[in-house]
Chains A and B, each alone.
Chain A
């Protein structure tokens, strides 16, 4: 049991008798709610505890800073862990709130990203970290500018807006006479979001890829501070267009948890419909993108028409083709009519049949199989160390699905169809996404049959507090943590699935040829805006 020898703090001991799997003392428990247990560690260095957590199979999925958290002055760090087989999360809050912390990137590699994010936001540093470059703050921001500090107003850091006062970003370099670099972006050749890709190649083969994001950093988290909860949901909705409903739902659920609001069964059902509709149309464009990138536009055209029909359904339901405004704290938009839902029911069934035909056809074409199979393999070993989630993880043999592992809303009552593929290549992701769309369309029809009558929205009596909510967006697990103080948002932290999943691409492309990069990238289709915030 005691994995940490020579640890003079005496953290981990006796717990085997009490049957507790935690190496945490229950006396450290600070707060327990529906979704998480918060522990305040009376230690300045959380590293031994975090190492023990890893030994017990828990996984670090989020790690962020909060200033003036409850009665704690300074910047508290919150480490969020997922425990296999347990729906609740574990959150550790160490005593240390100074400017220097111990890095945990050696234990959980994904922590490196969170540490860079915290260092940018709050100006704290991590000793022993292997990457100390800035993450979301580009050269346009002067050194010493840390926007998430509460003492910093939400205004421009410099007068001359086109100046570049920051240090130039240093890319990892691979050296050798045969190696050359291919820089791509931020402005790409197609209609896509900005990001920079730095390939190191030998001949056609990619030996290294470094992805630099942050071009779309709009200051989401800072903008939410001081806003009313309703305004916060509108901001969450604008994080990433094709995940608007998912993010609005995540923050709304967190606010409902804080206020103790129970939404109506009708709203619960229709939220499920909205979330699955969003999943279906988002994944449909992923399929279309994949076949476009291997030059099979005939099937892409058909898939795009199906997507168009689902977006028209979204428009009919709530007046937005991206389901904006459909979910709000306390329930759903009142403008959703029975007629529009009946229409969706019919369309969902029709699309299911047509999709089956297209997918069967596409997957029987030898040239498609040739390009998809064995291309861009995401190794299952990466899932845990990079906190991968969603279709990326499920196409590499994982069953992880937030709707099933951490059920929320309607998913507590009705379990959605679970899909898993082995292989981890583009082929696996194509067939997985196809099956997920199918499962979503089925689930929509099922929910619509059982949707009861009732109020669309109930009033939310907001009071102070904090809550963590996990939802399954089309791209994987999205985490929303919100802290309400004096009736307004004091801190809003969001981690979309893309934030972690991006680094799967850096690994998946190695050994592939540059010409296959577009299809590999599209098979994951991650959100730049959702990562940059």
Chain B
């Protein structure tokens, strides 16, 4: 009797482990699969460039200076299992001191200008600044408001502008590739 209970328990535990922790979702997303192939293709090229310039890892610090949070969501999506840019060598880091590049979103508000300058100064040289979204590129819809200074350029020098309201994750990956192709290893 005891043996049978024991067996049943063991079986339950084994079944628990048999149950997949994560279902393979690749079959269900991107119905035509075209976008996934595109991400892989861009990613592979990106990885090559990152290896060439940064010795395998490219660290980005994100700063929101007046965005409506859509661009933040898309940058967050880049790390999701669907885009998973970490496999290409891109990491979003917690401190500007660990960063190779700053990604800045939003038309810079008066209240954030100071924080942006401090973040920029805390980032070690050489550094790249990328403006993400229409607001960050030109001031966008907020241009002319008393509360914003305009695009990121108005406050710190910008190396790359990725327009969009907000740009799609795949557009961000593509733009990064274009940028890195022009960079020299320092």
Contacts and interface: CB of A to CB of B under 8 A. Distances in A.
Do A and B interact with each other, yes or no?
yes
B66 A216 contact: yes
Interface string B47-72: 00000000000000011111111111
A191 B141 contact: no
B37 interface: no
A304 B81 contact: yes
B113 interface: yes
A13 interface: no
Contact of A301 (B76, B80, B146): B80
Interface string B124-165: 000000000000000001101111110000100000000001
Interface in B56-97: 62-77, 80-82, 92, 94-96
Interface residues of B, number: 55
B64 A219 contact: no
Given A140-B111, A321-B74, A193 B69 contact: yes
Contacts of A27: none
B166 interface: yes
Interface string A117-155: 000000000000000000000101100000100001011
B115 A215 contact: yes
A302 B22 CA distance: 7
A456 to B, nearest CB: 21
A193 B146 contact: no
B110 interface: yes
Contact of B69 (A154, A241, A302, A321): A241
B29 A308 contact: yes
A492 interface: no
B141 A194 contact: no
A279 interface: no
B94 A190 contact: yes
B73 A216 contact: no
A529 B168 contact: no
A214 interface: yes
Nearest 8 CB-CB pairings of A with B:
A241-B70, A219-B147, A189-B94, A304-B80, A219-B145, A138-B111, A140-B110, A301-B81
Given A154-B144, A219-B148, A238-B68, 11 more contacts: A140-B114, A154-B146, A161-B110, A187-B96, A190-B94, A191-B75, A241-B71, A304-B80, A305-B81, A321-B168, A322-B70
Interface of A: 138, 140-141, 147, 152, 154-157, 161-162, 164, 186-187, 189-194, 214-219, 222-223, 234-235, 238-242, 244, 285, 298, 301-302, 304-305, 307-309, 311-312, 315, 320-322, 324, 343, 350, 354, 357, 527-529
17 contacts: A161-B110, A161-B149, A190-B94, A191-B92, A215-B112, A218-B148, A219-B142, A241-B72, A285-B73, A301-B80, A302-B22, A305-B29, A305-B80, A307-B77, A309-B29, A312-B29, A354-B23
